[in-house]
Structure 1
Amino acid sequence: MSEHTALVVGGTSGIGLATARRLRVLGAAVHVVGRDKRRLDNVAASDPELTCHRADGGDPAAIGAVVESIGRIDWLIVSLAGSEGVGPVAGLDLDMLRRAFDAKFWPHITTIQAALPHLAPDGSITLLGAITARAGMPGTAGIAALNGAVEAMVKPLAVELAPIRVNAVSPGVVDTPWWSGLPEEARKGYFAQAAKVLPARRVATADDIAEVTVVAATNANLTGTVIEADGGARLVSLG
């Protein structure tokens, strides 16, 4: 029997899946939640040691049923993302921005509320924000507000929920399916341009961010912290 149990909400691709795999290597019993049946089926085939659940993190009944079925949870990772919210503020579609909050911010609250009764007293909650929350990138005011709202919860929750630890990871440019809306050549071109400007001189992989996420989740002395795993994106202009 595994010593620890992890729940990764939004764990069927990208950073979430990479985190789930790393936690499994550590010996944890790992449960992943996703909405897309195809992605869940793919994970079940590629990673049979991960336990898959189909649920929407924003649906209190659905996510509540998942955590009830798991029981005690040591490490909760909320890796939810949406593809909307970017654009110059003058013409920003506010309905789109509301959808973006519905896709990411509110499900964070719903998931935390559902999991709290099942979290171990020495457990942890790790959220995924993004460096737009504190960088000066034109055209990101909407998504910056969204990620800022997620990351702003960390410090008050770390005190309110103590001794449960609460942290967040704030990635920069990461090669994940989040960019799938761009044509392949445009994506490659942007990544090449970003790699030239970033102090790290590279675009991060999902596993780079997963490595940091696992530290945030498992290190017993880390709480109330947002780890900027951005390759230095907050220090430069990516245009």
Structure 2
Amino acid sequence: MTDHTALVVGGTSGIGLATARRLHRAGAAVHIVGRDKQRLENVAATDPALTGHAADGSDPRQIAAVTEAIGRIDWLIITLSGSEGPGPIADLDLGMLRRAFDAKFWGHITTIQAALPHLAPTGSITLLGAVTARAAMPGTAGIAAINAAVEALVKPLAAELAPIRVNGVSPGLVDTPWWSGLPDQARQAYFTQAAQALPTRRIATADDVAEAVVLAATNPNITGTILETDGGARLVSMT
């Protein structure tokens, strides 16, 4: 992977950071984008080889400035996410849901458009959805719609942008900062219960998913595909 450049948007924590680390270990020059300056400073301290950029993935001017500064990009990886979106449909806050769409779905579109002029003809785009896009989990209609919208981009873009490859990765339950809104004890209790329902009997780590992201981004024979890395959550009832 030497002489390749990767851009991980949403790369300051969780799956994005784990992906950036894997790509760096494989020899790529890796740039990460994040909104939170403190997180960028933390990554600079722990992973000085990763080049950090402060930008909002949903702001076209900010992302365009980052991509122009980098130049040629071989692998664009978008791991934008947010904690908003879940909740029963009867009282789902529609303003909150619109913000969640802006942060994730529109952030993906904005980032793709900004990066396209700089993507190598043999390059790739990898998007991050989630198992909620295809699972029947009560209380997830809003966030399921967001992830389904992201994953719906994969096939048409793979056809439209060829030979640039476009893929998605669809994780299930992953132990990342996404769950930081829950107290530690409540989170661990939920993970313990959920793990018993999963065919794999475990909750994924960010690095588990990052391995699939790197495969989708770098394998020259994969395009138009969504790699499911959900521990089998789509096969069972998680309610």
TM-score normalised to structure 1 length: 0.99
User: Aligned residue for 1:182?
Assistant: 182
Alpha-carbon separation, structure 1, partners of 2:84 and 2:39: 20
User: Aligned residue for 1:207?
Assistant: 207
User: Aligned residue for 1:217?
Assistant: 217
After superposition, the C-alpha distances for 1:134-156 in whole angstroms (9 at most, x for unaligned) are 00100000000000000000000
Alpha-carbon separation, structure 2, partners of 1:85 and 1:58: 17
Paired-residue identity, %: 77
Counterpart secondary structure, 2:86: coil
After superposition, the C-alpha distances for 1:138-188 in whole angstroms (9 at most, x for unaligned) are 000000000000000000000000000000000000000000001111100
Structure 2 residue 42 is the aligned partner of structure 1 residue 38: no
Residue 28 (structure 1) shift: 0.3
- Output the amino acid matched with 1:222: I
Structure 2 residue 3 is the aligned partner of structure 1 residue 3: yes
Q: Which has the larger displacement, 1-10 or 143-152? A: 1-10
Residue 2 (structure 1) shift: 4.2
Residue 121 (structure 1) shift: 0.1
User: Aligned residue for 2:55?
Assistant: 55
Alpha-carbon separation, structure 1, partners of 2:231 and 2:87: 23
User: Aligned residue for 2:152?
Assistant: 152
- Output the amino acid matched with 1:149: A
- Output the amino acid matched with 2:144: A
- Aligned ranges 1:115-194 → 2 under 5 Å: 115-194=115-194
- Aligned ranges 1:17-96 → 2 under 5 Å: 17-96=17-96
After superposition, the C-alpha distances for 1:45-69 in whole angstroms (9 at most, x for unaligned) are 0000000000001111110000000
Residue 237 (structure 1) shift: 1.2
Alpha-carbon separation, structure 2, partners of 1:104 and 1:65: 20
Residue 238 (structure 1) shift: 1.2
Structure 1 stretches of 4+ with a deviation exceeding 6 A read none
Unmatched 5+ residue regions in structure 1?
A: none
After superposition, the C-alpha distances for 1:56-109 in whole angstroms (9 at most, x for unaligned) are 011111100000000000000000001010011111111110010011110100
Counterpart secondary structure, 2:22: helix
User: Aligned residue for 2:14?
Assistant: 14
Q: CA contact under 8 A between 2:2 and 2:26: conserved in structure 1?
A: no
Alpha-carbon separation, structure 1, partners of 2:12 and 2:71: 21
Q: CA contact under 8 A between 2:170 and 2:228: conserved in structure 1?
A: yes
Unmatched 5+ residue regions in structure 2?
A: none
